[in-house]
Amino acid sequence: MDKEKAKERIRLLREEILKLNYKYFVLDKSNVSESVRDALKRELIELETLYPQFITPDSPTQRVGSVLSGKFAKIRHKTRKWSLADVFSLEELKDWEERVEKAVGQAKYVTELKLDGLNITIWYEKGLLKKAITRGNGVEGEDVTHAIRTIKSVPLKLFQEVTIEVSGEVFMPKKSFASLNKEMAAQGKPPFANPRNSAAGTVRQLDPRVAAERDLQMYFYSLDEGPFDPKTHQEKLETLQNLGLPVNPQYQVHASAENSVAYLEKWQKKRDTLPYEIDGVVFKVNDISQQKTLGFTAKSPRWAVAYKFPAQQTSTILKDITIQIGRTGAATPVAELKPVSVAGSVISRATLHNEDEIRRKDVRIGDTVIIQKAGDVIPEVVEVIQSLRTKDSKPYNFPHSCPLCGEKLIRPEGEAAHRCENLSCPGRKRESFIHFISKGATNIDSLGEKVVDQLIEFGFVKDLADFYTITKENLLELPLFKEKRAQNILDSIEKSRTVAMSRFLYALGIRHVGEQGAKLIVEHLQTLTNESPTPKTLVNLLKKLSVEDLTNIEGVGGIIAKSIYDWIREPKHQDLLEKFDHLGLKLTWPPKKTTTSQASGKTFVISGTHSAPRDQLKTLIESAGGHVSGSVSAKTDFLLAGEDAGSKLEKAKALGIKIINETDLNSLLK
């Protein structure tokens, strides 16, 4: 290729990659695969290597600059940067709306997701990226152009040759954050505390190659200065997008701030489903002329406010560390905290997981700690604020004996948890009782933990079968119990006397046996007998099975098989099942599968994201006679692969297992 043809090819490649990047990063659409974009970029690199005289600053290959030698230069912003005032309740939001409308009359509002990232301002001169600056103190910030140029969603060249100043948020997606921390751990480096810190730390790297290797992204939300005259904030966002700048597509325009409450509540519930972190919703007056009338305070615009979601992470004092004994004997250390509000609920306890975790984080009684709660996850201690530690602080020593029964705590080889192996330990018994009455087990829904504690205290339940010996007289002896409440509990207990055998097996609390494992085992037991299902039948059938027999059940691994084998050979457990039998507990077999679908008798593994919840897909497969396993093996017939199927997909390919999508599944289920 001669020089002139190379020059033209380079120009065309630059323009095409720019268009593809716009579709992918701004419009969230693409008519080609990522590998195609990569191939075009490789060709551009090759040509620019041969003809470096044709390299331009806006070329996609020029995102990574040279390593900086020291501190970042300070640059004065062209326009003042403001911070938003925060509100923390609907009442405060309503008060803000009333102040706005008292000053300007009826107003419309734009809502935007408040990304938890790093605010960055960018200057474009004649359409080319010139400078990228941190917010700093609002008047001047740091020059981080070298790092921002590496972000693929930030165009190096706009669709118009305009000179403008724009602002937005740089962030790191959740998946990329998790991968980065995994890499940091592998290198023996301390992990980042959260995605915002990782984004800020990456932007401030002196070597732009570090930023280029990490997956930073950016959404723009402010057109600060330029040759445009938008009348509304919505028009600003549309102008940004038309220039090729990515705008978060989740913004909406509302007739009033009050009418936008549904938007706020929606994203407060769905925030965990987003691929990036948000910590609230930003409300802005839409009309620019009304914004100008409202003006600014010393720190914030009066025409905008940030509604902050209840904190998912906060700090408090760790008052004590106690040991909780679970139904399988696991001894879990628990942080007893000074009560604090996290994610909308008051938290006074948080898990510390195990001894290794306490040592790794160096958690001590009296420490000021950061705790977090995401979704319905149990609160946990994230880290200690070391600078607030007292001088007389001492490391925590994990106890050698069970705090409830005094037996020695054992840490089995290869396990992280200590265990109390005393089957009569009151802690183990209590947790096994709670498990037995739970929804997925016998579902004695009128009983709660407090009532169970009272039944134990009064000596009315000493083992699982004793729930079926409780009388109304027993219940009326308990504090605050009246006739109606006692009868409701007795009715609930009576209803639970007839229960599916798989749920009963799960309710027994055998270590490693979950709901799915119990279901698979019972389906196998059903094929071995014509007897009616009773607790005695369960004993007789399980006693006949070897570890190998149990392991041969699809979906039942060696650990589960050994656990069941050992459990049923304990005379104490056999006596318990005999007691259930004498008390008239009635078990039921699963319904016979008469389906003739192609799924009948086949084993499926579900991986990735699908249009329906995984539990729903699992129910459909099982109702058609199929089995669902949690892991891919040579016995797997089909892998139902969705988006981000991950390692299971790779393993299925390696084993030659048939990979299907939801359309294929529907055909098999007919």
Q: Which residues are catalytic?
A: 114
Where do the H-state alpha helices sit in 558-646? 558-568, 571-582, 614-623
Tokens standing for 136? 């700093």
Quote the Cα angle for 522-523-524, to 5°: 90
**CA-CA distances (angstroms) from residue 477 to 470, 490, 523?**
11, 14, 42
* Strand 85-87 versus strand 304-308 pairing type: parallel
| Closest to 451 (Cα-Cα) out of 414, 498, 486, 409 | 486
* N- to C-terminal Cα separation, the chain: 58
**Cβ–Cβ < 8 Å for 158, 15:** no
Residue type, 78: K
| Distance (Å, whole) CA 31 – CA 24 | 9
Tokens at residue 346, please? 């008051």
Residues 630 and 555: beta-carbon distance below 8 Å: yes
Q: Which residues contact 257 (CB under 8 A, 6 or more apart)?
A: 93, 94, 96, 97, 100, 109, 283
Residue type, 356: D
Cα Rg, the chain, nearest whole Å = 31
Q: How far is CA 233 from CA 229, 240, 287, in A?
A: 11, 11, 7
DSSP class per residue in 225-246: ESS---SBHHHHHHHHHHTT--
| 8 Å CB contact between 627 and 602 | yes
Helices (H), 527-557: 535-544, 547-551
Distance in angstroms (rounded) separating the CA atoms of residues 153 and 246: 7
Q: Residue with structure tokens 């900086």?
A: 68
Nearest Cα to 388, choosing from 364, 354, 371?
364
The residues facing 351 across adjacent strands are 334, 380
CB distance 141 to 123 below 8 Å: no
Cα separation of 155 and 218, whole Å? 10
- With a CB cutoff of 8 Å and minimum separation 6, the contacts of 105 are none
Lookup result for tokens 């326009």:
79
Rounded CA separation 604/662 (Å): 12
- Expressed in percent and rounded to 5, the helix, strand and coil fractions of the chain are 40, 20, 40
Report d(CA 453, CA 475) in Å as an integer.
12
Tokens, residue 261: 């409450």
Q: Exposure of 260 by Cβ count < 10 A (0-12 exposed, 13-18 middle, 19+ buried)?
A: buried
Longest dimension (CA), the chain: 100
How many residues comprise the chain? Answer: 670
**348, containing H or E segment:** strand 345-351
